[in-house]
Amino acid sequence: MTILVDHDTKVICQGMTGRAGTHYTSVMLAYGTRVVGGVRPGKGGSFHLNLPVFDSVASSMAETGANASMVFVPPANAAASMIEAIEAGIPLVVALTERVPLRDMIRVRDALRQGSTVLVGPNSQGVLAPGVCKIGVMATGDAQRGHIGILSRSASLTSEATAQLSAVGLGQSTTVGIGGDAIHGLSMRTCFEMFLADPDTHGVIVIGEIGGTDEEELADFIAAAKPKIPVVALVVGRHAPPERRMGHAGAIAGSTDGSAESKIRVLRDAGVIIAESPHLVGQRMREALAVPA
């Protein structure tokens, strides 16, 4: 099994006719993802990449049976596109757009409370079930079907963890990039609970960053739930200066909280295995599962 996506996932792309949307939709089609159409207001009735284009998410769902949307809309209009998809009732929205204004994401968060849509992102690399479905921008060359879930705030480190796991013979059930922005949809805790409910996931890699409280909330849940599968965590940003935004994501640690060291401490106290460096992620999971070298 997988989480969030499966062989029955039918994807539309909001912003498919743009340059990025065109490129990544083509890549997803080549991977075997069931992309069934795109949404671009004013271009309804046309075709792009031999797929129908619709004026709205609601009309695309009615015509194609789409149950997932990928958002490739520029930052200024990305929130409106997410809200449109949420109000249309589509079960899954994966938002790849970076630099969505925080004030706009407050409106998106309010919309999520009114419906049942699961939002992954924004600023996400996407969701990948190797050999099953890819929604996003991640590379797939190192991905292999298997039993390890990856839950991450970092796109590049997700690719690194995927490569390391595959190198030691551990394939992945699903990889999920929840996004690095301060306000986002799916939380680490909720995603982790999805992995726990999946009988095909036998271990979970958690990749965290400075800022926010996702890692602390996950640690509290793990301490209480005491999962029977191994959890390996990597938290980056130990040398980041406090109260300074790092890179393009929402990674920023306060002077007294949100630091990498504090996150590592609470995760370790909860029983999580800590990978001290990015190059040790695959090795720590292999050791935890007692897989021969």
Q: What is the pLDDT of residue 187?
A: 97
**What would the mean pLDDT of 147-168 be, rounded to a whole number?**
96
The CA distance from 124 to 142, in Å, is 19
The CA distance from 228 to 43, in Å, is 51
- Contact assessment for residue 57 and residue 80, using Cβ atoms and an 8 Å cutoff: no
**What would the mean pLDDT of 166-192 be, rounded to a whole number?**
96
More reliable by pLDDT, 3 or 258: 3
Query: Does the pLDDT of residue 22 top 60, yes or no?
Result: yes
Q: What is the pLDDT of residue 258?
A: 75
Query: Does the pLDDT of residue 285 top 60, yes or no?
Result: yes
The CA distance from 272 to 232, in Å, is 6
Query: Does the pLDDT of residue 248 top 90, yes or no?
Result: no
Query: How is 162-215 classified by DSSP, letter by letter?
Result: HHHHHHTT--EEEEEE--SSSS-SS-HHHHHHHHHT-TT--EEEEEE-SSSSHH
Q: Is the peptide bond before 122 cis (omega within 30 degrees of 0)?
A: yes
Arithmetic mean of pLDDT over the chain: 94
Query: Lowest-pLDDT range, 20-29, 123-132, 212-221, 236-245?
Result: 236-245
**What would the mean pLDDT of 86-97 be, rounded to a whole number?**
98
More reliable by pLDDT, 249 or 257: 257
The CA distance from 115 to 87, in Å, is 7
Residue 240 binned pLDDT confidence (cut-offs 50, 70, 90): low
Q: What is the pLDDT of residue 293?
A: 64
**What would the mean pLDDT of 139-168 be, rounded to a whole number?**
96
Query: Lowest-pLDDT range, 164-168, 260-264, 268-272?
Result: 260-264
Residue 1 binned pLDDT confidence (cut-offs 50, 70, 90): confident
Q: What is the pLDDT of residue 239?
A: 63
Q: Name all domains of the chain by residue range, CATH numbers in brackets.
A: 10-120 (3.40.50.720), 141-288 (3.40.50.261)
Record the pTM: 0.94
Residue 243 binned pLDDT confidence (cut-offs 50, 70, 90): low
DSSP secondary structure letter of residue 22: H
**What would the mean pLDDT of 34-59 be, rounded to a whole number?**
98
For residue 78, give both structure tokens: 């990305």
Q: What is the pLDDT of residue 255?
A: 45
Q: Is 7 an active-site residue?
A: no
Residue 211 binned pLDDT confidence (cut-offs 50, 70, 90): confident
Catalytic residue among 7, 23, 248, 279: 248
* Chain segment 50-85, per-residue pLDDT in tens: 999 999 999 999 999 999 999 999 999 999 999 999
- Contact assessment for residue 233 and residue 208, using Cβ atoms and an 8 Å cutoff: yes
Q: What is the pLDDT of residue 257?
A: 62
For residue 281, give both structure tokens: 């992620």
